[in-house]
Chain A
Amino acid sequence: MKAKRRGVVVTEEAWDLRLFIVDNQPRSTAAIKNLKHVCETYLANRCNVEVVDLAIHPEMAKIEQIVVIPTLQKLNPRPQKILVGDFSVEANVLRGLGIEQKE
């Protein structure tokens, strides 16, 4: 059940991601933009990203053990992973998400 797209192998199942940001700071905006790019490029139509603004839901920070902003939780598919940063280093994003790159 693997689709090949630009040398990248991904599973067909849906991807559930949760992104934690605080306010609409430049870094948060950049993170959303970079993540969107990755999703569109590698996970088209299978990417559900929930954005949690801790300025609105501060209690979530403790519950979800958030220290670093931005933090992305990869909930599905397993294994779960935590990515931090503004997703500007694409190779690390792909490694973090477990998207194998085949050259």
Chain B
Amino acid sequence: MPVLHKAPTGIRGLDEITGGGLPRGRPTLVYGAAGSGKTLFGMEFLVRGATLFNEPGVFMSFEETEPELATNVSSLGFDVNSLIKANKLSIDHVVVERSEIEETGEYDLEGLFVRLNSAIESIKAKRVVLDTVEVLFSGLSNTGIIRAELRRLFRWLKDKGVTTIVTGERGGETMLTRHNLEEYVSDCVIFLDNRVTEQLSTRRLRIVKYRGSSHSTNEFPFIIDETGLIVMPVTEVRLNYPVSTERVSTGIPRLDEMLGGKGYLKGSSILISGMVGTGKTSMAAHFVEAACRKGISCLYIAYEEAPDQIIRNMRSIGIDLEPSVKKGLLKYHALRASEQGLEKHLLIMQQSVLKFNPDIVIVDAITDFGTTGSPLEVRQMVLRLVDFFKMKGITAFFTSMSSRADLEETGVGLSSAFDTWIHLGNVTGNLERNRTLVIIKSRGMAHSNQVREFLLTDKGVQLKDIYTNATGAFMGSARLSQMATDQLAASARAENIASRERGVEEKRRALEERINAMRADFEAEIREIKLAISQEKARDKSLSTGDKTLTEHRRMKS
């Protein structure tokens, strides 16, 4: 089997999905409705061919004039005129105006062949674009002749060995193109679609047929920006990402603690969900500020607020992002979600990331895309975005606006895409709202399951344990008042104990005093008794002495 050679188009993304380009030396049909990008597709094929692959090309236009074409594509950065001067490109505008033509018998399209041939020969063209030959059907009445001549034309182009793109208008239900061009072009057929939903257009490309080559039948989104067409290969969600065990601080010490003491996993995807005003952007700012302080580069894609506004607002809670911006570590990319279609957003983000090559990307907020596409499309896009960041090893931090405070929802129905999911809640009570934070999940690390009170102070985000006692859990001013009440009760109790202790002491002292007094009495009594005894004894002695003296005295007298 002969090898199918391919001619790279140079159209970004297209060569990837076609496995190398269009069939070389053969015609390819590119069809779609008006405004689907056929002409630009063809022109870029030639311009890239001339500039990247040294393959000059002929553009045969049946609709737009040469100046019109040059102007239209100059907005894509294609300098058609200088390519023409350099003999790399030849444009021929073919006019077939039915009202000016009288048909008088048999004819053929040999004039077209002559023109094409001399254009090809004059610049040694390897590529040809016919945009769009169908015009012949409206310019001439004998369709039998046109069909036969087109068949001959495509065979002739094949014989010439030029790689050709034939454009065609989208047909009805039974035919791909209005004039059944697919009948002549059998090697490769590409369909361009431009769908407009809610004023936003989404361009898609599908390879309907590619003979002899495997190709994806998926629809591929593409965009036309100031550099041309870009087709975005839908990467199947691959799961073989480089996995890191490195950690990056959340910028909030207490949250780091809750996440196993170290913070987010490097290269993981993080979702912060919560209603409006729950502190999502503040979380992002902490993360960014802490990272930039360590020299980690961040790209902040802001959909809701202007960069200046974010910087000002964050300064009010004590986070100064400006030095990081000045150092070039933090780059803002502010966009309005409704300005572009989903695909364009994805692309702009990817391009921005590729250009800046950051370690961390913040997308604030992914729910803003909800306005630009169906939930399914948004989900697909977020998946692709997460996928893209993971492949690049970028730590991706997404915020998501929840519609209800009590609902823990990703906002895009995609919890599995995120490794760490933190929900910021609101608890209303006691005439106030209090913010809460809870880690719903965090893959690959031990993490706290406690709800914390989330305070926005002038020194940034502070996390507080929620105060609990036997009667319940308390937050905000309730926490403070309950703490005060409890403290008061505690001190009263302490006072009570102290006073009772003092009473005991007093009693003991009184007892001891009494004991001492009794002892003193006792001793005094003892002393008196002893005195009395000794006096008695002394009298006894003197008495006996007196007797003796008396006896002796009596003896003398007798």
* A positions within 8 Å CB-CB of B: 20, 22, 25, 27, 30-31, 34, 54-55, 58-59, 61-62, 65-71, 81-89, 92-93, 95-96
Within 8 A of A (CB), among B118-133: 118-119
Q: Is B82 an interface residue (CB 8 A)?
A: no
> Across the interface, do A89 and B107 meet the contact criterion of CB distance under 8 Å?
no
Q: Is the interface of B mostly helix, strand, loop or mixed?
A: mixed
> Across the interface, do A85 and B103 meet the contact criterion of CB distance under 8 Å?
yes
Chain B residues with Cβ below 8 Å from A88 are 104-106
Q: How far, in angstroms, from A11 to B119 measured CA to CA in the complex?
A: 40
Q: Is B96 an interface residue (CB 8 A)?
A: yes
> Across the interface, do A83 and B111 meet the contact criterion of CB distance under 8 Å?
no
Q: How far, in angstroms, from A34 to B104 measured CA to CA in the complex?
A: 10
Q: Knowing A65-B95, A67-B112, A81-B100 touch, does A86 contact B106 (C-beta < 8 A)?
A: yes
Which residue on chain B has the smallest CB distance to residue A84?
B107
8 nearest A-B pairs in the assembled complex, by CB-CB distance: A96-B102, A88-B105, A85-B105, A66-B111, A69-B110, A85-B104, A58-B118, A86-B105
Chain B residues with Cβ below 8 Å from A71 are 111
Contacting residue for B104 out of A22, A55, A69, A93, CB 8 A:
A93
Contacting residue for A82 out of B102, B105, B114, B115, CB 8 A:
B102
> Across the interface, do B104 and A96 meet the contact criterion of CB distance under 8 Å?
yes
**Shortest beta-carbon distance, B538 to chain A, in Å?**
167
Q: Is the interface of A mostly helix, strand, loop or mixed?
A: mixed
21 residue pairs A–B, Cβ–Cβ below 8 Å: A20-B111, A22-B110, A22-B114, A27-B107, A31-B105, A34-B105, A58-B118, A61-B115, A66-B114, A67-B94, A67-B109, A71-B111, A83-B101, A84-B102, A84-B103, A84-B107, A85-B104, A86-B106, A92-B103, A92-B104, A92-B105
Q: How far, in angstroms, from A31 to B109 measured CA to CA in the complex?
A: 15
Chain A residues with Cβ below 8 Å from B173 are none
**Shortest beta-carbon distance, A12 to chain B, in Å?**
23
Q: Knowing A86-B104, A92-B102, A93-B104 touch, does A62 contact B118 (C-beta < 8 A)?
A: yes
Q: Which of B104, B105, B118 has the most CB of A within 10 A?
A: B104
Q: Knowing A65-B94, A67-B94 touch, does A87 contact B105 (C-beta < 8 A)?
A: yes
Q: Which of B96, B102, B108, B119 has the most CB of A within 10 A?
A: B102
Q: Which of A66, A71, A92 has the most CB of B within 10 A?
A: A66
Q: How far, in angstroms, from A58 to B118 measured CA to CA in the complex?
A: 6
**Shortest beta-carbon distance, B106 to chain A, in Å?**
5
Q: Knowing A65-B95, A68-B108, A69-B107 touch, does A55 contact B114 (C-beta < 8 A)?
A: yes
> Across the interface, do A84 and B104 meet the contact criterion of CB distance under 8 Å?
yes
Contacting residue for B92 out of A20, A27, A62, A83, CB 8 A:
A62
Which residue on chain A has the smallest CB distance to residue B113?
A22
Chain B residues with Cβ below 8 Å from A92 are 102-105
Within 8 A of A (CB), among B510-557: none
Q: How far, in angstroms, from A55 to B101 measured CA to CA in the complex?
A: 23
Q: How far, in angstroms, from A61 to B115 measured CA to CA in the complex?
A: 6
Q: How far, in angstroms, from A70 to B92 measured CA to CA in the complex?
A: 20
Which residue on chain A has the smallest CB distance to residue B94?
A67
Which residue on chain B has the smallest CB distance to residue A31?
B105
For B161-179 the 0/1 string (1 means CB < 8 A from A) is 0000000000000000000
Q: Is B352 an interface residue (CB 8 A)?
A: no
Which residue on chain B has the smallest CB distance to residue A81?
B102
> Across the interface, do B140 and A89 meet the contact criterion of CB distance under 8 Å?
no
> Across the interface, do A66 and B115 meet the contact criterion of CB distance under 8 Å?
yes
> Across the interface, do B106 and A67 meet the contact criterion of CB distance under 8 Å?
no
Chain B residues with Cβ below 8 Å from A58 are 114-115, 117-118
> Across the interface, do A54 and B104 meet the contact criterion of CB distance under 8 Å?
no
For B79-94 the 0/1 string (1 means CB < 8 A from A) is 0000000000000101
Which residue on chain A has the smallest CB distance to residue B101?
A82
**Shortest beta-carbon distance, B255 to chain A, in Å?**
72
Q: How far, in angstroms, from A97 to B111 measured CA to CA in the complex?
A: 21
> Across the interface, do B110 and A86 meet the contact criterion of CB distance under 8 Å?
no
Which residue on chain A has the smallest CB distance to residue B136?
A67
Known contacts A54-B110, A89-B103; 7 additional CB pairs below 8 A are A22-B111, A61-B111, A61-B115, A68-B109, A70-B107, A84-B102, A85-B104
> Across the interface, do A69 and B102 meet the contact criterion of CB distance under 8 Å?
no
Contacting residue for A68 out of B111, B117, B119, CB 8 A:
B111
> Across the interface, do A67 and B111 meet the contact criterion of CB distance under 8 Å?
yes
Which residue on chain A has the smallest CB distance to residue B139?
A67
> Across the interface, do B104 and A61 meet the contact criterion of CB distance under 8 Å?
no
Chain B residues with Cβ below 8 Å from A65 are 94-95
Chain A residues with Cβ below 8 Å from B95 are 65
Chain A residues with Cβ below 8 Å from B106 are 27, 30, 85-86, 88
Which residue on chain B has the smallest CB distance to residue A54?
B114
Which residue on chain B has the smallest CB distance to residue A97?
B102
Q: How far, in angstroms, from A82 to B140 measured CA to CA in the complex?
A: 12
Q: How far, in angstroms, from A55 to B111 measured CA to CA in the complex?
A: 10
Chain A residues with Cβ below 8 Å from B139 are 67
Chain A residues with Cβ below 8 Å from B102 are 81-84, 92-93, 95-96
Q: How far, in angstroms, from A10 to B300 measured CA to CA in the complex?
A: 80
Chain A residues with Cβ below 8 Å from B112 are 67
> Across the interface, do B105 and A54 meet the contact criterion of CB distance under 8 Å?
no
Q: How far, in angstroms, from A17 to B247 measured CA to CA in the complex?
A: 85
For B342-364 the 0/1 string (1 means CB < 8 A from A) is 00000000000000000000000
Q: How far, in angstroms, from A12 to B114 measured CA to CA in the complex?
A: 36
> Across the interface, do B101 and A69 meet the contact criterion of CB distance under 8 Å?
no
